[in-house]
C-alpha cells in the first residue's frame, strides 16, 4: 500500500501542493475541473508577488499585511507567511518555475507568461509540466462532489467526470482542498467561470466551519462600457491618466491623496478596500466614473506599469473616448481555517490557497495572493504526504450522486438558474451593505432555491453547471450570514448602518451549516 494524496483543484495552490506531495514520495491524484492550470485565478492574475525579500524584512511584511487587513489576520498564519514566503518561492524556482525576486519585496512570474493579460499563466503552465514529470496523475474535467469520511477522518473523495457523466470514488491517505474562491456568485467578477465555491460547500458538508466570509475584495476599477470584458484596471493607472466623474472632476485621485496615499501605485497595494467602497457608494448614488483612455499615448503604453494596469490590448481606434469603470469582484479573503501546515480541523484534510481564510484579514494587500498560495500550497503538500498513512483501495465507478436540484426533462436551464442567483448576490453582497438588503438577500436565495425546481441537463456543460449549483448557493449564503453578523465596517466590508470600525469586533466570524441552516458566531483570533 502507498500513501495516496488527492488534490482537488488545479490552480497555483493545487499544483504546488501536488508537486510537493509527489516529491515527498506520495502517489498523487490531481482533480482539475477543466484542464490543469487553465481556468483558475492564478492563471488570470497579474503574476506579481508581495513578499519579505531584500530590504523588506519578514517583520515589515507581517506589519504591512496586518495593517492592510485591519489587524484581524490569524497571527500564526501571518508569521508563517512572512518568514517562510521567500524560501517557498525559491523552492518553486529550484523546481523550474521562472520566478523573479527583486530586492524590494516584490516578485513576478510574468517572464514565462504567454500574455500580459494572464500574467500568472506561465506559472501554472510550468507547474503542470513539473507535476506530470513527478508522476502526478492529472484527471481533467472532474468536479468533486463529496469527501469520504470515516472514524479517523478523511478517507478519500468522490467526483463526477462531467464530460462523460461518469461518477468516481477513490480512497486516499489525505485530501487537499485547493478549489479557489467563489467569485462567480457575482455578475461582475474578473474570476474565471469555474470559481464557484466548491471547496466551501465540501468543507461545510463535512462538518467544518468557514471564517471571514464577509471579507470579499472588490477591485476598485473594472471595465464597464459594453464591448469590454469584465476585467480589472490597476489603480496605478491613476498616475498616468485621470478617472473623472460625470462633471469631469478628477474625484478619485483627490480621494486617494486625501487618505494619505502618495500615488495610485501605493493605493493599488494598500488601499483597494477604501477605493472600492468609495466608488461603490458613488455608484449607489447614481453617479458614474470614467477612465480617460483617450489620453493614453503610445509612449505611455510602452511603460510596464501602464501595460500591467490596463491588462488589455486596446487598439488605437478604440482609445478615442472615456470608458466607464466600476468595482469588480476580485478575491475571497475568507474560507476554511487552517494551521501553518495547511491542516484543517478534520484529520486527513488539508487546504491551501483562496479557499482558506485567516491570512489576509479584512483586506488583502496587493500581490499577497500568489505569495499565499505558494507558501501554504508547498506546506500543505509536504504535510499531507509526510503525515498520511498508507491506504488500500483503487479508483472505482459509482452511481451518479444526488444533485442540489433534481434533473428532469423540461426543467429549468442550469445557466438561467445560475444567473438568477448571481443577480441576487450582486444586488446585496457588494462592498456596501446594510441589514435590510442582507436579510432580503437571504430570503431571496431561499425563494430561489424553493422555486427553481428540477434542472434540464441536455449537455455536458449543463451537467457541470448543475454540479456547481450547490457551491454557488452555499457561498452566497455564507457571505450574507457573515456580513449580517458583523455589525461594523472593517476593511472590504462596509455596513451603511454601522459605518465605523469597532474595537469590540476585532474577532472573526465562524459560519457553520447544519441541516440546511447557517449559523454565525464570533470567536477570538490567534494573535
> Domains in the chain, start-ordered, CATH in brackets?
4-214+331-398 (3.50.50.60), 216-329 (3.90.700), 407-523 (1.20.58.100)
At residue 520, φ and ψ (nearest 5 deg) are: -135, 125
Q: Helices (H), strands (E): how many in the chain? A: 15, 25
The pLDDT value recorded for residue 110 is 65
DSSP state, residue 64:
H
How far apart CA 15 and CA 138 sit, in angstroms, is 10
The four Cα atoms 355, 501, 371, 211 give a dihedral, to 10 degrees, of -20
Residue 117 has pLDDT above 60, yes or no: no
At residue 389, φ and ψ (nearest 5 deg) are: -105, 150
* Residue 446, SS3 per DSSP: helix
The pLDDT value recorded for residue 118 is 59
The pLDDT value recorded for residue 109 is 74
How far apart CA 172 and CA 185 sit, in angstroms, is 31
- Among the residue ranges 24-38, 107-121, 212-226, the one predicted with the least confidence is 107-121
Residue 108 has pLDDT above 80, yes or no: no
Nearest alpha-carbon partner for 69 in 440, 313, 359:
359
Residue 119 has pLDDT above 90, yes or no: no
Query: Per-residue pLDDT tens for 212-257?
Result: 999 999 999 999 988 888 888 999 999 999 999 999 999 999 999 9
Nearest alpha-carbon partner for 42 in 102, 103, 92, 84:
92
Residue 114 has pLDDT above 90, yes or no: no
Query: Per-residue pLDDT tens for 396-418?
Result: 999 999 999 999 999 999 999 99
At residue 502, φ and ψ (nearest 5 deg) are: -120, 125
Query: Per-residue pLDDT tens for 71-80?
Result: 999 999 999 9
The pLDDT value recorded for residue 112 is 62
The pLDDT value recorded for residue 527 is 78
Residue 331 has pLDDT above 60, yes or no: yes
Nearest alpha-carbon partner for 246 in 198, 289, 303, 308:
289
How far apart CA 10 and CA 83 sit, in angstroms, is 26
The pLDDT value recorded for residue 424 is 97
How far apart CA 31 and CA 527 sit, in angstroms, is 35
First to last CA, the chain: 41
Instruction: Please state, rounded to an integer, the average pLDDT across all residues of the chain.
Output: 93
Residue 115 has pLDDT above 70, yes or no: no
Work out the average pLDDT over 91-116. Answer: 80
Share of the chain above pLDDT 70, in %: 97
Query: Per-residue pLDDT tens for 411-450?
Result: 999 999 999 999 999 999 999 999 999 999 999 999 999 9
State which H helix or E strand residue 278 sits in.
helix 272-284
Residue 186 has pLDDT above 70, yes or no: yes
The pLDDT value recorded for residue 113 is 58
For 244-288, the DSSP string reads E-TT---HHHHHHHHTT-SSHHHHHHH-HHHHHHHHHHHHHTT--
Angle at 256 between CA 75 and CA 69, to 5 degrees: 10
Nearest alpha-carbon partner for 186 in 47, 326, 368:
326
How far apart CA 77 and CA 339 sit, in angstroms, is 7
What Rg, from alpha-carbon coordinates, does the chain have? Answer: 22
The pLDDT value recorded for residue 104 is 81
Amino acid at each position: 500500500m502507498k500513501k495516496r494524496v488527492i488534490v482537488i483543484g488545479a490552480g497555483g495552490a493545487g499544483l504546488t501542493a501536488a508537486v510537493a506531495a509527489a516529491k515527498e514520495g506520495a502517489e498523487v491524484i490531481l482533480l482539475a475541473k477543466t484542464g490543469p492550470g487553465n481556468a483558475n485565478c492564478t492563471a488570470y492574475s497579474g503574476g506579481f508577488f508581495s513578499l519579505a525579500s531584500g530590504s523588506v524584512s519578514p517583520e515589515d511584511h507581517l506589519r504591512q499585511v496586518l495593517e492592510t487587513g485591519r489587524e484581524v489576520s490569524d497571527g500564526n498564519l501571518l508569521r508563517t507567511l512572512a518568514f517562510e514566503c521567500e524560501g517557498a518561492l525559491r523552492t518553486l524556482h529550484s523546481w523550474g518555475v521562472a520566478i523573479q525576486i527583486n530586492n524590494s519585496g516584490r516578485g513576478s512570474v510574468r517572464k514565462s507568461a504567454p500574455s500580459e493579460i494572464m500574467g500568472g499563466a506561465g506559472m501554472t503552465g510550468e507547474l503542470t509540466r513539473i507535476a506530470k514529470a513527478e508522476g502526478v496523475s492529472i484527471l481533467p474535467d472532474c468536479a468533486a462532489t463529496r469527501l469520504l469520511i470515516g472514524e479517523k477522518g478523511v478517507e478519500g473523495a468522490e467526483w463526477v467526470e462531467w464530460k462523460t457523466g461518469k461518477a468516481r470514488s477513490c480512497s486516499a491517505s489525505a485530501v487537499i482542498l485547493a478549489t479557489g474562491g467563489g467569485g462567480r456568485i457575482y455578475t461582475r467578477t474578473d474570476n474565471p467561470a469555474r470559481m464557484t465555491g466548491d471547496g466551501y460547500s465540501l468543507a461545510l458538508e463535512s462538518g467544518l466551519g468557514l471564517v471571514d466570509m464577509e471579507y470579499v475584495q472588490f477591485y476598485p476599477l473594472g471595465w464597464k462600457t459594453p464591448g469590454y470584458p469584465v476585467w480589472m484596471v490597476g489603480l496605478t493607472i491613476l498616475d498616468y491618466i485621470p478617472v473623472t466623474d460625470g462633471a469631469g472632476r478628477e474625484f478619485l485621485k483627490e480621494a486617494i491623496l486625501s487618505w494619505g496615499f502618495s500615488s495610485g501605485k501605493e493605493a493599488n497595494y494598500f488601499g483597494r478596500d477604501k477605493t472600492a467602497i468609495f466608488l461603490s457608494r458613488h455608484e449607489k448614488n447614481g453617479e458614474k466614473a470614467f477612465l480617460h483612455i483617450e489620453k493614453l499615448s503610445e509612449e505611455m503604453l510602452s511603460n510596464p506599469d501602464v501595460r500591467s494596469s490596463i491588462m488589455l490590448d486596446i487598439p488605437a481606434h478604440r482609445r478615442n473616448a472615456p470608458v466607464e469603470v466600476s468595482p469588480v469582484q476580485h478575491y475571497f479573503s475568507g474560507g476554511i481555517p487552517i494551521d501553518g501546515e495547511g491542516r484543517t480541523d478534520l484529520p486527513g484534510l488539508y487546504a491551501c490557497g483562496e479557499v482558506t481564510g485567516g491570512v489576509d484579514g479584512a483586506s488583502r494587500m496587493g500581490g499577497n495572493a500568489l505569495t499565499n498560495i505558494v507558501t501554504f500550497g508547498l506546506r500543505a503538500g509536504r504535510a499531507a504526504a509526510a503525515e498520511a498513512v498508507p491506504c488500500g483501495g483503487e479508483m472505482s465507478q459509482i452511481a451518479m450522486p444526488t444533485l442540489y436540484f433534481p434533473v428532469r426533462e423540461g426543467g429549468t436551464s442550469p445557466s438561467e438558474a445560475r444567473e438568477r442567483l448571481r443577480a441576487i448576490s450582486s444586488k446585496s453582497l457588494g462592498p456596501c451593505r446594510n441589514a435590510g438588503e442582507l436579510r432580503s438577500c437571504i430570503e431571496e436565495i431561499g425563494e430561489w432555491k424553493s422555486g427553481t425546481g428540477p434542472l434540464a441537463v441536455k449537455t455536458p456543460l449543463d451537467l457541470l453547471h448543475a454540479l456547481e449549483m450547490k457551491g454557488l448557493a452555499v457561498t452566497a449564503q455564507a457571505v450574507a450570514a457573515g456580513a449580517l453578523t458583523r455589525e461594523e465596517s472593517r476593511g472590504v466590508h462596509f455596513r451603511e448602518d454601522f459605518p465605523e470600525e469597532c474595537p469590540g469586533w476585532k474577532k472573526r466570524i465562524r459560519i457553520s451549516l447544519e441541516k440546511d441552516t447557517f449559523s454565525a458566531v464570533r470567536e477570538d483570533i490567534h494573535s
